A and B are shown apart, each in its own frame.
Chain A
Amino acid sequence: MNAELQRARHRQMFIFLLVSFGMLVLLGRLYYWQILQSHSGYNLAQRANDEHIQNQVLDAPRGLIFDSQGHILATNIIRDDVYVEPVQYSIDHTDNSQSDLNTLINSLHQVLPQVSTAKLQNAFSIGMAQGLWAVRVAVRIDPEQSQKLRDLQLSDVFLQPRTWRIYPGGPLAAQILGFVTQNDTNNHGVYGIEKQYDTLLEGTPGNFTAETDLQGNPLTVGANNEQPAISGANLTLTLDSTMEYMVENALADAVKKLQAQGGTAVVINARTGAVVAMAGYPTFDPNQYADYSNQRGCLGSEEVYFNPAIFCDYEPGSTMKAVTMAAALDQGLITPNTTFDDQGCISFPDVTEVCNWQYTAYGPETMTGVLIHSANVGAAYVAYNILGPDHYYPYLARFGFGQAYSIDGPEDPGSYRTPDNKATWTISDLTRQAFGESIFATPLQVAMAYEAIANGGVMQQPYLVQSINNNGHITTTQPVVKRQVISAHAAQLLTGMLEQAAIHGYAQLAQVAGYSIAAKTGTATTQGISADKTEASVAGFIPASNPQFVILVKIDRPTQKIYGSTAAAPLWGYIAQHLMWYYNIPPDQPL
């Protein structure tokens, strides 16, 4: 090999080695970035994916809530939130930054007058200082404002749609429905049906993963993955919104007119236990629930969001006399004509005597007369002298007192002392419970006790949800018999007694022309406070000959008229009258 060729080969080898070395360096660097820094250190793969892969959570539409007539009580709307992008703005506007910003802020303020220019300026300043990519400047703007902003196509401003729960009837049935708290990540039902059925109503969110273009728009062609959202279940309630509105309005008017602290009204289907209407006052508007955070219900003891019909217990007063009579009638210990001598007051061993209102002595008095006169002495006599604790307390339990119904929403089981707890129970508890003192019950419990009487002694399970439509899978609630509380014969006798009590007793203002009613008034006072601070109530059913509806109304601490007979009875009659008209129930009495 000549020297020329030798040199050429050396040069080739040198160039080869040089190129090889360069390649090795590049390979090493490539190994460093692609392998070593890909999933650790700088985590380049993740950062790259974050830039060009979008993972979007698809909100599941919350289920709707209907009344029994198919009218919507709770639905959803989509409204936009407005965001500005301070960091992007500073990147896009290196020159004339402040003048451009002022123009942008003025444009935004013209569309969103509710957001001050100072607030917008602040959002940009803080965002730039803190390196924030997006700052929200307005929440739930009007559709017209959204359209204007879309038309303006402002740079460094974007709209983010958000679903909101809305109640078309405003305060209608608010304490039954509850409301939904809404934040950036979660919507949760609070109180009432919204809370009780939150899991069913909220559905299952989906997700959408796709590569994006430079503007961040998802590339739907190519590798993407979509898991569709599953809508929440729709609920149909037993409420009739027309009757609910009538009852709520009538109750609110009565409370205002009587200058009372509050009130409750319950209407139950006497045959099925379905709740037709359930109203409380004061109440709230779930569309603006935060405005009511300082308001109190249940005589100031609870937040106004609670449903007082199932959460606020009270001493039922004389409406309990029907329960005392039911216990004695069912055991065959009395008949409607059983007579005793009412001296106006009655004494029992070791306890305070029980007296009638204004100490009125009725002399020889039938059991029907006890209900007509609403005689405390008669009720206490039946409980102590005829029934005794062993024959009385099982009936309180059978009528559902002291037990929650597991109806939808937070519920108070109520309470009363029993001989099982000898340390606290006295004879006085028995004699007073007979006429509705020393026992705490919710309005629903009292209404359901009358439902059992109206329904031939059979108590139904009360219910609020008529059906659940979970994406086509429909579950319908069938009326369920809870228990036979008293015999049909005893229920029939008691209905007759209550009918007489309504005709000749204190519930006369509850009478409805053309219809027979079975009703009992109650005026309860609370120990330790003034006797004129009452809870006036009426419980009963209509028509007495073929009961369709059980109605309970209760007015808390009325000041204009303080008795069940004067404060609550007119409201009971008004509600009963409208129910008969609305449901076309033919009169059972001559007009």
Chain B
Amino acid sequence: MQVRKPILAAKRRRQLHPFLYRIGPLGLSICSVLLVSLMAVLYLSQLSQAVTANQEISRLHRQAAALEREDQDLVYLIAQEQSPVYIAAHAKAMGLIPADPSTVIVLVVPHLKTIPPADQHMQP
């Protein structure tokens, strides 16, 4: 009768078998502690990253809120300074007076192209 050669996987398993089963209680304990420690380190590392990320997100939220507030203040400031009320008050403070229609001379220049307002690009 011909004896068949064991397949490679079985051979390897047989080679490993003694190692796996020869670990003693001390070794097992050390391995367990190491494994648990590793898991704990990994967990703490993840937690630390999460906390850092949370802090970073919170900081960015606060920064976004501060920037939004600053943006609204600047929009308000621009709106205020563009307001005719503000411009007229400043013109008056600079000593300018409203034009007297009776002293204004209107000159008509045929075919003159009008100049678009400087802030035309700001029109919504």
Binding site for B on A (CB under 8 A): 64, 66, 69-73, 75-78, 143, 161, 166, 168-172, 217-222, 234, 236, 241-242, 244-246, 249, 467, 469, 512-514, 573-574, 577, 581, 584, 586-587, 591
CA distance A244 to B68 in the complex (A): 30
Query: Which residues on the B side are within 8 Å of A77 (C-beta)?
Result: 69, 72-73, 76
Query: Which residues on the A side are within 8 Å of B54 (C-beta)?
Result: 219-221
B33 within 8 A of A: no
Query: Which residues on the A side are within 8 Å of B108 (C-beta)?
Result: 586-587, 591
Interface residues of B in 102-119 (CB under 8 A from A): 104-106, 108, 114, 117, 119
B76, A245: Cβ atoms under 8 Å? no
Interface residues of B in 20-72 (CB under 8 A from A): 50-51, 53-54, 57-58, 61, 65, 68-69, 72
A222, B50: Cβ atoms under 8 Å? yes
Give min CB distance, A584 to chain B, whole Å.
5
Give min CB distance, B95 to chain A, whole Å.
18
Listed A/B pairs (10) with beta-carbon separation below 8 Å = A66-B124, A71-B82, A161-B69, A168-B76, A169-B84, A218-B58, A219-B54, A221-B53, A236-B124, A591-B105
A587, B106: Cβ atoms under 8 Å? yes
Known: A71-B83, A246-B84, A581-B104. 10 other contacts (CB 8 A): A66-B124, A70-B122, A72-B75, A72-B76, A169-B79, A244-B84, A512-B101, A513-B101, A514-B106, A584-B114
A70, B123: Cβ atoms under 8 Å? yes
CA distance A12 to B53 in the complex (A): 53
Number of interface residues of B (CB under 8 A): 34
Binding site for A on B (CB under 8 A): 50-51, 53-54, 57-58, 61, 65, 68-69, 72-73, 75-76, 78-80, 82-86, 88, 101, 104-106, 108, 114, 117, 119, 122-124
CA distance A66 to B82 in the complex (A): 12
Give min CB distance, A67 to chain B, whole Å.
10
A221, B50: Cβ atoms under 8 Å? yes
CA distance A64 to B72 in the complex (A): 11
CA distance A171 to B105 in the complex (A): 32
Of B79, B84, B105, the contact of A242 (CB 8 Å cutoff): B84
From known contacts A70-B123, A577-B101, A587-B108, infer whether A161 and B65 are also in contact, taking CB-CB under 8 Å. Answer: yes
Give min CB distance, B58 to chain A, whole Å.
6
Query: Which residues on the B side are within 8 Å of A236 (C-beta)?
Result: 124
CA distance A73 to B80 in the complex (A): 9
Give min CB distance, B22 to chain A, whole Å.
35
From known contacts A161-B65, A220-B57, infer whether A70 and B124 are also in contact, taking CB-CB under 8 Å. Answer: yes
Find the A residue at minimum CB distance from B117. A69
Query: Which residues on the A side are within 8 Å of B83 (C-beta)?
Result: 71, 168-170, 172, 241, 245
Give min CB distance, A145 to chain B, whole Å.
14
Q: Which 5 A-B pairs have the closest CB atoms?
A: A72-B79, A245-B84, A168-B79, A70-B123, A220-B57
CA distance A219 to B78 in the complex (A): 36
From known contacts A217-B58, A221-B57, A236-B124, infer whether A245 and B88 are also in contact, taking CB-CB under 8 Å. Answer: yes
B85, A78: Cβ atoms under 8 Å? no
Give min CB distance, B119 to chain A, whole Å.
7
Query: Which residues on the A side are within 8 Å of B75 (C-beta)?
Result: 64, 72, 75
Query: Which residues on the B side are within 8 Å of A78 (C-beta)?
Result: 68-69, 72
Query: Which residues on the B side are within 8 Å of A467 (C-beta)?
Result: 124
Find the B residue at minimum CB distance from A467. B124
From known contacts A584-B114, A586-B108, infer whether A172 and B80 are also in contact, taking CB-CB under 8 Å. Answer: no
CA distance A401 to B122 in the complex (A): 39
Query: Which residues on the B side are within 8 Å of A469 (C-beta)?
Result: 124
CA distance A71 to B82 in the complex (A): 7
Query: Which residues on the A side are within 8 Å of B51 (C-beta)?
Result: 221
Query: Which residues on the A side are within 8 Å of B88 (C-beta)?
Result: 245, 249
Query: Which residues on the B side are within 8 Å of A241 (C-beta)?
Result: 83-84
Query: Which residues on the A side are within 8 Å of B68 (C-beta)?
Result: 78
Find the A residue at minimum CB distance from B114. A584
B72, A76: Cβ atoms under 8 Å? yes
Query: Which residues on the A side are within 8 Å of B101 (C-beta)?
Result: 512-513, 573-574, 577
Give min CB distance, B72 to chain A, whole Å.
5
Give min CB distance, B111 to chain A, whole Å.
11
B79, A71: Cβ atoms under 8 Å? yes
B124, A245: Cβ atoms under 8 Å? no
Query: Which residues on the A side are within 8 Å of B79 (C-beta)?
Result: 71-73, 75, 168-169
Of B51, B79, B88, B123, chain A has the most CB atoms within 10 Å of the CB of B79
CA distance A170 to B89 in the complex (A): 13
B84, A172: Cβ atoms under 8 Å? yes
CA distance A577 to B72 in the complex (A): 37
A69, B50: Cβ atoms under 8 Å? no
Find the B residue at minimum CB distance from A74. B79
Give min CB distance, B105 to chain A, whole Å.
8
B69, A169: Cβ atoms under 8 Å? no
Query: Which residues on the B side are within 8 Å of A574 (C-beta)?
Result: 101
CA distance A467 to B114 in the complex (A): 25
B72, A75: Cβ atoms under 8 Å? yes
Find the B residue at minimum CB distance from A578. B101
CA distance A577 to B82 in the complex (A): 23
Query: Which residues on the B side are within 8 Å of A244 (C-beta)?
Result: 84
Give min CB distance, B71 to chain A, whole Å.
10
